Amino acid sequence: DAVSDAIEAHLSHGQLVALDGLVAELRMDRITVFLALLFLAARTELTLHQPDFYGPLLVQKAMSPS
């Protein structure tokens, strides 16, 4: 959960952040961050976007229901 908390702390509502940016900011290895993102996405706490097949993976904090 420490990785999840660190990721969520670096995301602002509505802001898209690249996976590479998160890895650099968190100073963690790419696999650890990627797996944490998958779990958070499965819990609908964030959304993952990849507009191009080999393009960067973009992360966005999920909007809270109004």
Beta strands in 1-66 (DSSP E): 16-18, 46-49, 58-61
pTM for this prediction: 0.80
For residues 16 and 1, give the distance between their C-alpha atoms in angstroms, rounded to a whole number: 22
pLDDT tens for residues 1-43? 677 777 777 777 678 889 998 888 888 899 999 999 999 999 9
